[in-house]
Structure 1
Amino acid sequence: MKILKILWVLFFIVSCSKKEGHLYTFYYWKTNLKLDKDEKKALDRATVPCLYTRFFDVDKVDGKFQPVAVITKDQSFQTDKEIVPTVFVTNQTLLNISSEEIKFLAGSIYHLVQKKTDEYHLKTGNEIQIDCDWTAGTRNDYFRFLKELKRVSGKEITCTLRLHQVKDKKQTGIPPVEKVYLMCYSTSSPLEKSDKNSILDVAVLKSYLSKIEEYPIKNIEVALPIYSWGIVTNHLEKHRLINALSEKDLNNPNFKKINENEAEILKDGFYFGNYLNKGFRIKIEEISTEQLEDVILFLQKKIPHFNIIYYQLDSKFVFDRKF
């Protein structure tokens, strides 16, 4: 009997620590909609019947609202997935905005989403997602905007939720939506000198989300990073990014390895489409399967059920990765 009890305890411990299977799909964040064979294969295998597709950004330029980098579509962009239009709104767009401007902004965004949906014959449903890094200073106007967009569109409006907006929810407020998408990345700035992985530091994420189970909105989906980049540091300790680099890109006879994810350039020249000088350093930041599993196991204890949206669908990031 005692042995049987021990076996049950061990079974319970193993079951609770095991990563559950989660339905998943992707964000698509390129301006020109097109799919190569690796991207199409990864999307076809995705178990959520949606693709969260960025349609355009909205910014304020010279005091006027402007759509930025509006999508175009290539013939190769063919999918049976339902497209969820996603719009990024800069925080500065919401600064000192009037009630009339909120109405104008919501109407303009909805009409442009509809225009692109019709123009490119995209199969969309009842959801529009807004991505915004709102702050305590813009929260009230942002929330009014979300309500107005719901009113003019008649759609379900959802929004992204950043880590600081969870941790500081008393200051940043709770958005008036029924579903949020928790962005489990960008744990620090890549342009600051730091030994941490700016895309995802799991310890930092866990500290920010230590009380995520208390968040008032219970319908939470989880966005996880699969992207990578190289952070280039010049002689003045200034930083810039080169997207989609990985550790294997440091295997170059003109580079001197400092450690497994950092190298110093030994010879001036063009590297990865950029002219880089001798003495510049490149630090690679990418995300391992083990890091993602650690985050998923942590969140499983706090959020009853969630789907995963990987950022982002790109052959550079989905090739050879198992989901």
Structure 2
Amino acid sequence: MKIFCFVFLFALMISCENSKSHDYTFYYWRTHLSLDAPEKAALDKASSTYIYTRFFDIEKVNGKFQPVAVITKDRTFKTDKEVVPVIFIRNDLFYDITLDEINFLAQNVATLIKKKQTEFGFKVSTQIQIDCDWTAGTNKEYFTFLQKLKEFSKKEISCTLRLHQVKNSKLSGIPPVEKVFLMCYSTSSPLENSTKNSILDFPTLKAYLKNIDLYPLEIEIALPIYSWGIVTNHLGKHKLINALSVEDLKNVNFKKISDTEVEVIKDGFYFGNYLNKGFNLKVEEISEDRLNQVKKYLNKKLPGYSIVYYHLDSRFLNHHSY
């Protein structure tokens, strides 16, 4: 009887560990803010009180820092969630940057965020998130920018964390922020000739995150729900077509190679692109099983975390239960 009880309790513990619930929400990554009915419903159901919304990118144009792809909004974008601004900054901006330029950049980023929050009537967020693929060669300058942004904005600053920045944390450095958002996707380049799923290959992810439990900051998790198609031409060159699914491969002008791959057998326009006969088209998408596999692994590594799904788009929502 004692053995039975022990086995039962052990099984119960494992079951609970693998079925932990996590607060979740979404990234919103389109330039024009709008919500159709499925997107609005999915956002309303999300258990987190936040939505992480890309406000603009920063690039260097003619030697000057410039905001690009700044968001616009229509009347359909209505939510009770706290809209957290996310700013994408190219890593190369932090090469050969002076302290005065860092101060200028941080102050102007804070000012434009505040302007957009006021213009669109968003709930004033207590957070700002910065997305940058920093490296060992730019970490000092980037980390100084994060500190200056906190000073100017008087906000809590978080930043994204890429897989290589975890694996090589001694070289990449630890950012001076309250928390990081670990991007559990882009495990390889979609433009390489590989049989792996470039969005999320689980063995590759595990190799990068072997020591994630030792990372010294609070970690939230970003998981992919997006998909795309990879077109390969006669010369072996690749091109991406966003938001394709396996269902899109069911076309009389495509010859099936595998469940996720076809060959074009008739020239024509497909998904807004002209594809020639003989081109190869492979779809990469993320199954619910693969996401659960990642969560199960992270549950063993991290004491607790919330999830931000990338990204809120009705083309991706039906494939997952959240």
Q: TM-score, normalised by structure 2?
A: 0.98
**Structure 1 residues without counterparts, runs of 5 or longer:** none
CA displacement, residues 50-75 of structure 1 (integer Å, 9 cap, x when unaligned): 10000001111232111110000011
Tell me the equivalent position of 1:287: 286
In the TM superposition, 1:12-31 aligns within 5 A as 12-16=13-17, 18-31=18-31
Q: Is the 8 A contact 2:288 2:319 kept in 1?
A: no
Tell me the equivalent position of 2:92: 92
45-54 vs 62-71, greater mean Cα deviation: 62-71
Letter in 2 for 1:142: Y
Q: Distance in 2 between the 1:46 and 1:267 partners? A: 43
> How many residues matched?
321
CA displacement, residues 182-231 of structure 1 (integer Å, 9 cap, x when unaligned): 100000011111111010001100110010010111x1110000000000
Query: How far did 1:45 drift?
Result: 0.2
Identity of aligned residues (%): 59
Query: How far did 1:11 drift?
Result: 3.0
Change (3 A) 1:79 1:12: closer
Asked whether 1:251 is paired with 2:242, we answer no
Tell me the equivalent position of 1:200: 200
Letter in 2 for 1:185: Y
Alignment RMSD (CA, Å): 1.0
In the TM superposition, 1:88-127 aligns within 5 A as 88-127=88-127
Tell me the equivalent position of 2:260: 261
Asked whether 1:225 is paired with 2:220, we answer no
Query: How far did 1:320 drift?
Result: 5.0
Change (3 A) 1:30 1:155: same
Secondary structure in 2 aligned to 1:158? Answer: strand
Q: Distance in 2 between the 1:262 and 1:320 partners? A: 19
Tell me the equivalent position of 2:277: 278
Q: Is the 8 A contact 1:222 1:309 kept in 2?
A: yes
Letter in 1 for 2:320: R
Secondary structure in 1 aligned to 2:223? Answer: strand
Asked whether 1:184 is paired with 2:180, we answer no
Q: Distance in 2 between the 1:37 and 1:14 partners? A: 35
Secondary structure in 2 aligned to 1:42? Answer: helix
CA displacement, residues 21-64 of structure 1 (integer Å, 9 cap, x when unaligned): 11100000000000000000000000001100000011112321
Secondary structure in 1 aligned to 2:301? Answer: coil
Secondary structure in 2 aligned to 1:227? Answer: coil
Q: Distance in 1 between the 2:120 and 2:73 partners? A: 7
Q: Distance in 2 between the 1:233 and 1:265 partners? A: 10
Query: How far did 1:92 drift?
Result: 1.0
**Structure 2 residues without counterparts, runs of 5 or longer:** none
Change (3 A) 1:75 1:263: same
Q: TM-score, normalised by structure 1?
A: 0.97
CA displacement, residues 238-295 of structure 1 (integer Å, 9 cap, x when unaligned): 1111000000100000000110000010011000011111111111000000000010
Secondary structure in 2 aligned to 1:25? Answer: strand
